[in-house]
Structure 1
Amino acid sequence: MNKHLKKIILAVLTLGAVFIIATVSINIFLKNKLESFVNERLPENMIRSYDEITVASFGGSLSITNASLIIKNKKDSVKHTFINVEKLKISQISYWDYLFKDEIHIETISLENPIMAYYKDRVLSSKDTVQKGIIDIYKPIIVNKLIVNNSRFAIYEKSEDSTKLYTKKLSVAIDDIKVDKNTVKRKIPLEFKSYRAKSDSVFVKVSPYENVTVEDFSIVNNNALFEKVTLKTKYSKKKLSQVISTERDHYDLNLQTLKIEAIDFGFNQGQFFAKSKMVGLTAPTLEIYRDKLVSDDLKIKPLYSKMLRELPFRLTVDSLKIKDGNIKYEERTKSENMGGSINFRNLNAAISNVSNTYNSPEKTNIKINANFMDNTPISVDWSFDVNNKTDAFLFKANVDALAANKLNSFTVPNLKVRLEGRTNKTYFTIDGNSEAATTDLKISYSNFKINILQKDGKEKNTIFSAITNIFVSKNSKSDDNSFKEGTATANRDKTKSIFNFLWISIKAALVKIMV
């Protein structure tokens, strides 16, 4: 072997040895840095532990097994957040960026089988948490991908049924994350480019009375799909009436899919915002029951325009669509029965500008088509301007032929009234605001008759029925194509909902025309 070849081999071996020594040294250095960070740099109110930190000599990777973190209040040391991770792996740390760009650049951070629990009622409020940041960041941290696999996450609160939120088999991936000394002070302490998430089970307690469940959901490229969504009152109808002190609706909602497109959210000048191009609800079935024997809720009920205007965050939904919906409303007014019902089937709706961010004169527009009481087509065109503080609105509707006896499922148990005859066509326009409304109505009807029933709701009260029908016009005109028209004004009862306001407005016009 000549001298020249020996020199080349010696140089290669020397460089290899230097590389191995440098790699091992840097890995040991990084391991020590991580251990130092975990043990010294985390705040005192964070209790941390782990079984082992291992280093891949040539991969620039670190693994932590059985890591746990417990966060407690600084003032009273009450523990409120518990995190356990079976394995945390930090892969492909860039030595070059660390040494020459003064930043920590990581290809992937993965968490396997994490379990997270947060006890909301144990946390003491602290106004300076966001401004000061959770930890001090000396070098920017850039992560190409954060992956969370098969996690369980729960939020608990102080109540008899303490679970506020629970999800299992939740997996999340976030791309192009950046954390530095400025981002950690924000309400969302990091910047990111995109995210994906999926889970096969979600439970949310939305109030002391109602729960939401989702069988499956996924978020991909800022588009979310929730499947088999339910919102249900946790009590039976009878039990709810026993536990509430004032009127409250009993809900049973089943939704095939909920789709949210082009999601965007965050904080702008300290205020939270949420945006979506389109929200779609497919095949919702909603049953609402109200027991009117329970004491009235005398709180002021804002109209929808005011509710949107006074949301505590900025909401922008360009379009909301409902497809193939069914709604049933039951109301009980008599103690001897469970009430009567009305329904809307095959309901389709298109709503634009569900928002409090646009400027006048742009309006929220609601267009609805449905079958009322099974087979009577009804169309609605409803609009209002969120920025108009008088809460002015315009509500227009067309109702096709309706057999009056279809309404008996509601009027008999609740009003002790049985109807006969038919309406051929009804048009009405309600021009209202938060105080009052004027209704223009025209209606064609024939052979209309009101039968007042006895207290048992079965037999006809002949005398009262005869007297009532003296004052009610039997037909609108001499033929089915003729209309009776009228205009009436109704004052709003602000302790009632918008639907009560619409009903008393229509009723005022009907009474003026027919009586």
Structure 2
Amino acid sequence: MQKKHKILSVVLVFILVIIVGFFVAQWKIGKKIEQALSEFPNHIQMSYSNLEVNILLGNVDLKSSKWKVYGKTTGELITQGHIGQISIENLSYWDCLFNEKIAVETLLIQNPVIKYVQNNKVKQADFEQKTWGSLTQKVELGEVLVSKADVLVVKKDNDSLLFSSPNVNLKVDGLKFHKNENKPVEFDGFSVDAKNIKYALNDYDDVFVDSLSVTKTASFLNNVKIKTKFDKAAFSQVVETERDHVDIHFKSVSVTGQDLKLLNSSVVGINAERVSVDKPHFEIYRDKLVADDLEPKPLYGKMLRNLKFNLGIDTLNINQGAIVYSEKVKKDNGAGRINFTNFNATIANLGNSYSSDTETLIEVNTDFMEGSPLQVQWHFKVQDSTDRFVFKADLGHITAASMNSFSEPNLNTRFNGELYQTFFTIDGNPKLSSIDLKIKYDNFKVSMLKEDGWEKKKFLSGLINWFISNDSKENEDGYRYGHAEQVERDKTKSVFNFIWLSIRSGLRSAIANDGEKEN
């Protein structure tokens, strides 16, 4: 009996030692964590309300922490924020003690409110070196969860908003930080959900997104808007050279078969099997009274070729869109206006990551000026340094008067008559183009208007109509043929201006009846 009591006493003492040891170890580890939290570099300031440690489960909870991060060299505030709770679950003591590695099953960051100040003077490479270069151990996180983050990014120079979203949720799987390696950050997968996003696209335009969801393989954006920050009159006063005033809306944008290639925090490649843009509506206004932008405008092939990252979108679909383009040329007149409705387009092989023989092909089906069916085929090779392109179009029946909403205020020209069918093919490069065109029309007349836009210049109008053929019935097939070569491009204007110059040359040839019928 006495022996049993001795054994029981030893067991009780052993249990007591374990319990006391547990609390002592937990107290010591808690103190060590507190000490570590107090020993951040001078440019990082942090405070918190409470620290809870459970060494049995390997859990650590840091509650109500406040953070401020200053630039090492500038001493200026870079980031500040408040985090409701930071939780570490299942910290591996074995890895910490024997493998020189911090391994955590889950890192949970709840309700962070973060403000980041972007300083363009700080180079991204320098920032990454300062961020990751000081790592002394490898860090592996099974999953990182950021819940209900309120994120604000502002520009240092004027505190203007660059990005904001009051509700961001992030999950990263298999996140690894390596010390002293060229690729310090790796992860297996991620997902981001955000709502009520505002992003400064540039100094003049903002992007708004109601909701966004992104994973490594797919993305979905709902209710996207791109808007110029100023009204039209104010915009003309703030820009030094002419620029589009935009009001653009996409009902949704979806990306499938997505593959994002990342190097540290930078995107170096974007590939996707399909991108679909549903019900886009474009309102574009250009004030031509503002000084011309005389910078050379590259064609789209060169723009894609010179992207700073790899892009490869196998198919881009635009569904049920609308485009309204307005252009103000004369001070006392309203803006001329053209529009496309029921706009559907497919773009194949969009990007710079395809082989030299691969063509980018754009096919468009739309209604021009409310009711005239228009089909377009446009193709070029991005890797072709000559930037040769072919642009074909088939325009159905259109009343000439429907073009007066653009021609009267901008050109002081009024058209009448019926254009039954127009076909043309433009073969161009960055300097010159040639065009073959055929058109079937009837009772076509041109009226040149006085500066008030109402009264007709009778003599000039009569002279012009005397020189042109007012119908195409003379030819056996009912078409007139136009041809022009060496149409010179104005390199300070867009490719669409070049296409218009080519069409104009072809129309002049056809109406003057000096083109030849195709063989």
TM-score (ref. length: structure 1): 0.92
Residues 240 and 271 of structure 1: CA distance in aligned 2, closer, same or farther (over 3 Å)? closer
Q: How does 1:6-405 map to 2 (within 5 A)?
A: 20=19, 23-24=22-23, 26-40=25-39, 42-99=40-97, 101-121=99-119, 124-125=122-123, 128-131=126-129, 133-134=131-132, 136-158=134-156, 162-182=160-180, 186=183, 189-220=184-215, 222-261=217-256, 262-267=258-263, 272-405=268-401
Kindly provide the amino acid, as one letter, of the partner of residue 366 in structure 1.
I
Residues 2 and 451 of structure 1: CA distance in aligned 2, closer, same or farther (over 3 Å)? farther
Kindly provide the amino acid, as one letter, of the partner of residue 178 in structure 2.
D
Q: Which moved more, 1:422-431 or 1:94-103?
A: 94-103
Task: Tell me, in whole angstroms, the C-alpha distance in 2 between the residues paired with 1:82 and 1:304.
Answer: 41
Kindly provide the amino acid, as one letter, of the partner of residue 198 in structure 1.
D
- Partner of residue 490 from structure 2, selected from 475, 489, 493: 493
Residues 377 and 140 of structure 1: CA distance in aligned 2, closer, same or farther (over 3 Å)? same
Q: CA deviation at 1:97?
A: 3.9
Kindly provide the amino acid, as one letter, of the partner of residue 193 in structure 1.
D
Residues 447 and 141 of structure 1: CA distance in aligned 2, closer, same or farther (over 3 Å)? same
What per-residue deviation string (whole Å, max 9, x for no partner) do you get for residues 462-515 of structure 1?
222111101111111247952122221211110011100000011111111112
Secondary structure of 2:186's counterpart equals: coil
Task: Tell me, in whole angstroms, the C-alpha distance in 2 between the residues paired with 1:180 and 1:24.
Answer: 33
What per-residue deviation string (whole Å, max 9, x for no partner) do you get for residues 339-362 of structure 1?
111111111111122211222111
Listed as ranges, the gaps of 5+ residues in structure 2 are 513-519
Kindly provide the amino acid, as one letter, of the partner of residue 508 in structure 2.
V
TM-score (ref. length: structure 2): 0.91
- Partner of residue 514 from structure 1, selected from 508, 511, 514: 511
Do the aligned residues in 2 keep the contact of 1:328 with 1:342 (CA within 8 Å)?
A: yes
Kindly provide the amino acid, as one letter, of the partner of residue 34 in structure 1.
I
Do the aligned residues in 1 keep the contact of 2:481 with 2:509 (CA within 8 Å)?
A: no
Residues 481 and 346 of structure 1: CA distance in aligned 2, closer, same or farther (over 3 Å)? farther
Q: Which moved more, 1:27-36 or 1:417-426?
A: 27-36
Kindly provide the amino acid, as one letter, of the partner of residue 136 in structure 1.
S
Residues 287 and 209 of structure 1: CA distance in aligned 2, closer, same or farther (over 3 Å)? same
Residues 86 and 512 of structure 1: CA distance in aligned 2, closer, same or farther (over 3 Å)? same
Secondary structure of 2:464's counterpart equals: helix
What per-residue deviation string (whole Å, max 9, x for no partner) do you get for residues 245-279 of structure 1?
211111010110111222413129x9822222222
Give the number of aligned pairs.
510
Task: Tell me, in whole angstroms, the C-alpha distance in 2 between the residues paired with 1:480 and 1:218.
Answer: 59
What per-residue deviation string (whole Å, max 9, x for no partner) do you get for residues 352-388 of structure 1?
2221122211121111111111111111111111111
Kindly provide the amino acid, as one letter, of the partner of residue 37 in structure 2.
V
Task: Tell me, in whole angstroms, the C-alpha distance in 2 between the residues paired with 1:437 and 1:6.
Answer: 105
Task: Tell me, in whole angstroms, the C-alpha distance in 2 between the residues paired with 1:119 and 1:472.
Answer: 64
- Partner of residue 417 from structure 1, selected from 402, 413, 417: 413
What per-residue deviation string (whole Å, max 9, x for no partner) do you get for residues 52-104 of structure 1?
22113533211112222222122231222113212111112233444455432
RMSD across aligned positions (CA): 2.6
Task: Tell me, in whole angstroms, the C-alpha distance in 1 between the residues paired with 2:319 and 2:391.
Answer: 21
What per-residue deviation string (whole Å, max 9, x for no partner) do you get for residues 18-64 of structure 1?
65456545544543443343333x43322222222211353321111
Residues 175 and 12 of structure 1: CA distance in aligned 2, closer, same or farther (over 3 Å)? farther
Q: Partner residue of 2:517?
A: none
Q: CA deviation at 1:293?
A: 1.3
Task: Tell me, in whole angstroms, the C-alpha distance in 2 between the residues paired with 1:238 and 1:353.
Answer: 39
Kindly provide the amino acid, as one letter, of the partner of residue 35 in structure 1.
E
Kindly provide the amino acid, as one letter, of the partner of residue 196 in structure 2.
S
